[in-house]
Structure 1
Amino acid sequence: MRKYELALVLVANLGEEDKLSELGKIKEIIARFGGQITNVDDWGKRKLAYEIKKVQKYKEGFYYFIHFDAATSVPAELESRLRITERVLRYLVISLEDK
């Protein structure tokens, strides 16, 4: 098992229930493929560095950083599902070095 960090930005026009629902779905994907979440850091709503245009233009987003332990195949599976999720503006999965 390796240590990973998922940086995630959700669209800013979500209600509290929708935001928690999306976060729950992402946690479920990690768990389904054998990953174990160690920490979820909620940074809240923040201004984006640049405007992102999907269906509409977004200037803000909800930032999350999720730390998890998983097999090396899990990040690819996670990214393939995040890529098609409409409420996700940006994501990045990185491998953390073991200390």
Structure 2
Amino acid sequence: MLNQYETVFICTPVLSEPQVKEAVKKFRDIITEHGGEMLHEEDWGMKKLAYPIQKKSTGFYHMFEFKADPVFITKLETDFRRDERVIRFMTVRLDKYAVAYSEKRRKLQKEKTEKKED
């Protein structure tokens, strides 16, 4: 049984864009290699942190939405902890209401981008 999850992680601001993309690709590949299914991905870019983390006040935010086996989540979180490029992460399991909200949000976001292109 696959559950639907959402993970947001923050990469350290001392990285260059290619290094951040490499870190994102690493975690995307880990999810797909272990039988996970990527549903959505968002790059939120560099943002100011609410409070300093490891003496840093900004970070590169990225969000994954995926389906995976519950046992896999502990392995994914272990990989986040071991990677020095990641300063914070959070994974949550989405219930049916959160899944519906997420699908609605993606649909509205898609419509906005289509209107901008016209």
Once the two structures are superposed, residues 41-80 of structure 1 have per-residue CA deviations (whole angstroms, 9 ceiling, x without a partner) of: 1111000011111xxx211001111000011112111001
Between Structure 1 and Structure 2, how many residues are aligned?
96
Partner of 1:71: 69
Residues in 2 aligned to 1:20 and 1:63: alpha-carbon distance in whole angstroms: 11
Partner of 1:12: 13
Partner of 1:58: 56
SS of residue matched to 2:22: helix
Residues in 2 aligned to 1:77 and 1:98: alpha-carbon distance in whole angstroms: 24
Residue identity (%):
32
Partner of 1:32: 33
Structure 1: runs of 5 or more not aligned: none
| Greater helix content | 2
Aligned-residue CA RMSD (Å) = 0.9
Contact conserved, 1:3 with 1:98, CA < 8 A, in 2? no
Structure 2: runs of 5 or more not aligned: 98-118
Residues in 2 aligned to 1:13 and 1:38: alpha-carbon distance in whole angstroms: 29
Residues in 2 aligned to 1:52 and 1:73: alpha-carbon distance in whole angstroms: 29
| Greater strand content | 1
More relative contact order in 1 or in 2 (CA 8 Å, sep 6+)? 1
**What TM-score, normalized to structure 2?**
0.78
Residues in 1 aligned to 2:61 and 2:20: alpha-carbon distance in whole angstroms: 11
SS of residue matched to 1:23: helix
SS of residue matched to 1:73: helix
